[in-house]
Amino acid sequence: MNPLALPAFSANGHLQGVIEIPAGTNHKYEFNKQSLQFQQDLRDGQPRLIDFLPYPVNYGFIPSTRMDKGRGGDGDPLDVLVLAEYLPTGTVLEVQAIGLLKLKDTGELDNKVLAIPVDPSRRIIKASNWLTFQRDYSAIRHILELFFMYYDGLGTMTVMGWDDEAAALAEVKKWQLV
C-alpha cells in the first residue's frame, strides 16, 4: 500500500493522517517515495537522530497533498501533528484539524496541521477546536513552537504564527492533489 496515494479525506469526510515519527522518539523517519517504505531519514549517509528532545507529538503527513516548490512549499506532503499517545510508524488514522502552525524552513513554507484523532478514545486533550485549544492548552502551542525552532539547530526554522481549524482545512485544500 502506498499511503501517499490515499485520499486526503476518508470516505466519512474526515481528514486522514499518516504517521511517520511516533511521539517520544528522536529517530526521524520518512516515507520513501521510491521504495514505498518507511525508513529512517539519512543525513550525510548516517541515520538521522534529532539531537534535542524527542518529538512531543506524532508527526506525519496528509496523503494526496504536496507543498509545491513552485508555490513556495518544501516539495513534500503537508505535515500533520497528531496530539495522541504514541502511534507507530505507518499508522493511518482519521484526524480532526484544530489548528495550523505556520513555519518556514530555510525559506520554504513548511506548515503543519495540528490535529486530534477523530476517535475520542485516542485523544489526550479535551479541546476539539482552535478556540478551546488556545484557551485551555496554550502551553502546548509554546512547546511546539520551541521544539520546531530548535530541533534542527537554531536559525533553520522560523515560526510565522498560528491559525485556526478553518485555515488548516484551507491549507489542506490548497495543496491537495486529487
Q: Show the low-confidence residues of the chain (pLDDT under 50).
A: none
Radius of gyration in angstroms for the set of CA atoms belonging to the chain, rounded to a whole number:
15
* pLDDT for res 20: 98
Domain with residues 3-175, CATH architecture: Alpha-Beta Complex (3.90)
In whole angstroms, give the CA distance from residue 169 to residue 128. Answer: 14
* Tens of pLDDT, residues 56-97: 999 999 999 999 999 999 999 999 999 999 999 999 999 999
* pLDDT for res 108: 92
The domain ranges of the chain are: 3-175
- Do 80 and 118 touch, CB atoms closer than 8 A? no
How crowded is the C-beta side of 145, counted as CA atoms within 13 Å?
12
Query: Would you give the DSSP letter of residue 148?
Result: H
- The residues near 5 (Cβ < 8 Å, ≥ 6 apart) are 63, 64
The pTM for the full model equals 0.96
* pLDDT for res 84: 98
* pLDDT for res 174: 97
